[in-house]
Amino acid sequence: MTRTTLRQLHYFAEIARSKSFSRAAANLGIAQPALSQNVAALESDLGVQLFERHAKGVTLSPAGERLYERALQILGDVDGLRDHIAGRPAEPSGLVRLCLAGSMSAVIAAPVIREVAKRFPQVELAISDGLSSDIRRQIESGQCHLALMPSASEMFGMASLPLIEEHFMFFGAHAAMRKAPAQIRFADVLRHPLAAPDRAHDLRKLLERAASALELRPDVRYELNSPQMLISVVRSGLAHAVLPAGACLDAVASRAIAGRPIVEPLLSRIQAIVWPGERGLTSAAAAVRDTLADVVTQAVQDGLLLGRLLAQTHKKS
């Protein structure tokens, strides 16, 4: 029978946040030996090592990572008991893991962090970014609670909230683009050497499908599964790239690269918030989802993301 106590979970969560036994003890107002004894008892009770000790502090072990998420949920539920009994809505609390497609993260990450902290101070937000293929694996395996990513309609068992039809542009080194027209036809894009992700990636599939419709093939010279590497190759003049405008804001602002809208046809994709359909969202995850939708909407209205906002029938919970 388990003997784990709420006090032990509270102590454990504070150490995880502080990444230090001494800082956690100071924050909790207890002696460090007492803190260590409680953690040792918790580890003994659960039969796992929760922390990995380092010279500069501690980090969570894989078992500790799993416990941390559950501990925050339990402690949040306990904190909400008073409001629940009194009939008041509980403040969302706990850990929410959010994955952002790399093309969106540069624009979206900071305002989401700011807005979640302002609206829901009891929610702990952990954000990661990557290519859509990586994010798909994470959301399907349960490693993250929410994702902002393309091609949600192709994923089985997922609920989604479509937000924006994101437009693509043709990018090249700034000097090489000086004589480029104000808009470029997709057939002309395909005459240039390109850098692109591999065929497992959503962007590459879009390129291949659009080229096939014109009975052409893209001249992909470099396969790079990193937005940063793609932009670096474009900046160097080795190749051009087809990317969302939001992925290249800093490089364009520094005049390292330049972009042109693609026409005939216009290339676009739907970015949506995605979560496992069979598992309901916690109040904290639902709060982050709604905040994320607001942030994306504002970014489009401010011109930071290029695309068309989609009509939303979603009602905030």
Coil, helix or strand at residue 156: coil
CATH topology classification for 6-85: Arc Repressor Mutant, subunit A (1.10.10)
* Residues near 123 by beta carbon (within 8 Å), at least 6 away in sequence: 92, 93, 94, 95, 96, 116, 284, 287, 288
Pick the CATH number of 94-163+277-304 from 3.40.605.10, 3.10.20.30, 3.90.1170.50, 3.40.190.10: 3.40.190.10
Strands (E) across the chain are located at: 51-54, 57-60, 94-101, 123-130, 146-150, 158-173, 184-185, 194-196, 220-223, 241-244, 257-263, 268-276, 307-309
**Against a cut of 0.85, is the pTM above it?**
no
Which residues face 300 on adjacent strands? none
9 closest CA partner among 34, 43, 32 = 43
Fold match between domain 94-163+277-304 and domain 165-268: yes
127 closest CA partner among 108, 140, 150, 103 = 108
Phi, then psi, of 282 in degrees rounded to 5: -65, 165
297 closest CA partner among 309, 287, 288 = 309
Q: Across the chain, how many H-helices and E-strands are there?
A: 12, 13
- Residue 261: the pLDDT is 92
- Residue 6: the pLDDT is 86
Supply 189's token pair: 């894009």
Helix axes 62-79 and 6-18, enclosed angle (nearest 10): 120
**Domain map (residue ranges) of the chain:** 6-85, 94-163+277-304, 165-268
Mean pLDDT for back-to-back runs of 10 residues, the chain (317 residues): 79 87 88 91 90 87 86 72 65 87 85 96 88 81 85 78 90 91 94 92 90 95 89 94 83 90 90 81 88 94 85 48
Supply 111's token pair: 């305002």
Asked whether the beta carbons of 313 and 163 are under 8 A apart, the reply is: no
Instruction: Specify the CATH class of 165-268 in words.
Output: alpha beta
